[in-house]
Structure 1
Amino acid sequence: MTYEKQGAAALDYFPCRYAGSKHSFRGPRSQLDGDYVAFLGGTDTYGRFIPRPFPALVGDRLGLTCANLGWMNAGADAFLNDPGVLAAARGARAVVLQVPGAQNMSNRYYAVHPRRNDRFVEASFLMRRVFPGTDFTEFHFTRHLLSTLAQDAPERFAILVAELQFAWVARISELIRQIERPVLLLWFADHAPRDASGMDHVGADPLFVTPEMIAALKPAPVEVIDATVSPAALARGTEGMVFSEIEAPAASEVMGPAAHAEAAERIIAHLADVLALQG
């Protein structure tokens, strides 16, 4: 692994902005006036602690501009609420959308911050009815909220999970519809897509997402890319990452460069076919 002392030179993300968006993205800034592929996703797409995340690796191999429009902990709401991102996606030849978890978006039970989607904002009247006696002022992040509810009220928690899954299908379908370009859905996780069993707790991302939910998307993505990380890549952990000692716990929770390299190879195989069909 690679450590950088706190306060010393660390990984430069070259933060940049795109027209119509208030958010800062990872750079260098891509030129969006020609052929390019847009990458939408969360922390892994952004590539925190990763010198060359998979959007950059794909661009290197294909010799094509790959605009990294990922940001930390983003859910569907982050993109649907950002006109600049939607405009950039609509101008792309194709869009690679990393599958987000179902927890970081507003729904009938709770609201999240419109840009920082992992931030819990408030519980709805319905949420307070289903979980009476819960002091929601104690929660600031969706994972903390859901972990507590899963432990304290498992039967009622299942009702909440069903709502999140229903909302996810609706919201991702709307995002694909608004993009209006070929969308390749990327499953980038330490486990393969699995059914609804084991949804009674807060596990690994993409949280609560099942193959049935992906199959229910309308319009459907043109491709679903399974980039489940291999045991060999997972075993390499934080090797090749750049982070300070204080950031080590956070670095251990994201995919490492070996996983990004695997994802890039799988994306390239599918993306090359989609681009070739466009002529």
Structure 2
Amino acid sequence: MLHLDAGARALDYSPCRYGASRALFRGPARDLSQPYVAVLGGSESFGKYVAQPWPALVEAGLGRAVVNLAGQNAGPDFYLSDPAALDVAARARVAVVQVTGAEALSNPFYTVHARRNDRFVAATPALRALFPEVDFAEIHFTRHLLSVLHRADPMRCSVVSEALRRTWVDRMRLLLARLPERRLLLWLTEPALPSRAGWPDRAPVSIDRALVEVLAGEVSGIVELVSSPQARTMARLDMIYPETEAAQAACLPGAAVHAEVAARLVPKVAELM
């Protein structure tokens, strides 16, 4: 096993900034003066707990710089609220955009943190009217929020879910319009999540094929990856994390999954380059 005991030195992500962006990205910083690929996505693309995440592996396979602009728990709102990061992405030769969850978006029912999009900030009057019995004061994360709403009333929660799905499409279109013409969607359809029963634990708002294919005409291609059973078996055995963060590591893909992502992406990105 490669995981570390509690208190041991954590993986060094060499955090860096690009331009005037307030966000910290995984480094070392890449040279932006030569043609490069930009990666936008969440914790999976950031490569938390993985020494060589898929953007670094794609860089090695292409022989071209890959600028990892993925943010931990980031979604489209992360980029749409950061003009400097969007400028870096827009100047890329090719952009790869990970499909992230719809729950991590500000929407007609609640707002999320600008940089940590999994953080629930506030309920709107519409949500308070829909769920007057819910106390939002102790809710800090979007998944927890949706779990609470689902337990309170699945039918009323479906109203929120549908609004999130519509918001996701609108926000993704806004984001894609700001990116270079050559752009790919990366859809990790089976992330390395623990097999716990219950809708709230696995997918608060489903991003399904119909929803992703709405965007097909606005991208150069959609790369869908279902990780192999062998790669999923390796999860947590090929990751570097303090034992105190084992629960978080269990929800993310390991190095073997990252290698499979890179193997699929390298020829697709090379063709667009």
8 Å CA contact 1:75–1:101 kept in 2: the answer is yes
User: 1:201 corresponds to which residue?
Assistant: 199
Shift of 1:7: 3.3
- Residue in 1 aligned with 2:167? 167
Contact 2:147 2:204 in 1 (8 A): no
Distance 1:264 1:205 in 2: 24
Residue 271 of structure 1: aligned partner: 269
Distance of 1:265 and 1:10 partners within structure 2: 27
Q: Which residue of 2 aligns with 1:242?
A: 240
Unaligned ranges ≥5, structure 1: 192-199
Quick one: which amino acid aligns to residue 164 of structure 1? Answer: L
Corresponding residue number in structure 2 for 1:258? 256
**Counterpart amino acid of residue 7 in structure 1:** G
Equivalences for 1:1-279 in 2 at 5 Å? 1-190=1-190, 201-204=199-202, 207-217=205-215, 220-275=218-273
Give the Å deviation of 1:205. Answer: 5.6
CA distance in 1, matches of 2:245, 2:137: 27
Instruction: Identify which range, 208-217 or 86-95, moves more after superposition.
Output: 208-217
Residue 240 of structure 1: CA displacement?
Answer: 1.7
Judge conservation of contact 1:184–1:223 (CA < 8 Å) in 2.
yes
Give the superposed CA RMSD. Answer: 1.6
User: CA separation in 1, counterparts of 2:188 and 2:214?
Assistant: 19
Question: Could you tell me how far 1:270 is from its partner in structure 2?
Answer: 1.3
Separation of aligned partners in 2, 1:108 and 1:206: 17
Shift of 1:3: 2.3
The 8 Å contact of residues 76 and 175 in structure 1, kept in 2 or not, is answered as yes
Give % identity. 40
Shift of 1:257: 0.5
The structure 1 segments of at least 4 consecutive aligned residues displaced by more than 6 Å after TM superposition are none
TM-score for both structures, normalised by structure 2:
0.94
Aligned residue pair count? 267
- Contact 1:190–1:234 (CA under 8 A) maintained in structure 2: no
What is the rounded CA distance, in whole Å, between the counterparts of 1:247 and 1:12 in structure 2? 15
CA–CA distance in structure 2, aligned partners of residues 62 and 218 of structure 1: 25
Q: Secondary structure at the match of 1:10?
A: coil
Query: C-alpha offsets along residues 4-63 of structure 1, whole Å, 9 cap, x if unaligned?
Result: 233333311101110020011110111111110000100011101000000000001111
Task: Report how far residue 253 of structure 1 moved.
Answer: 1.1
Letter of the structure 1 residue corresponding to residue 269 of structure 2:
L
Structure 2 Cα separation of the partners of residues 253 and 45 of structure 1: 13
Distance 2:180 2:49 in 1: 32
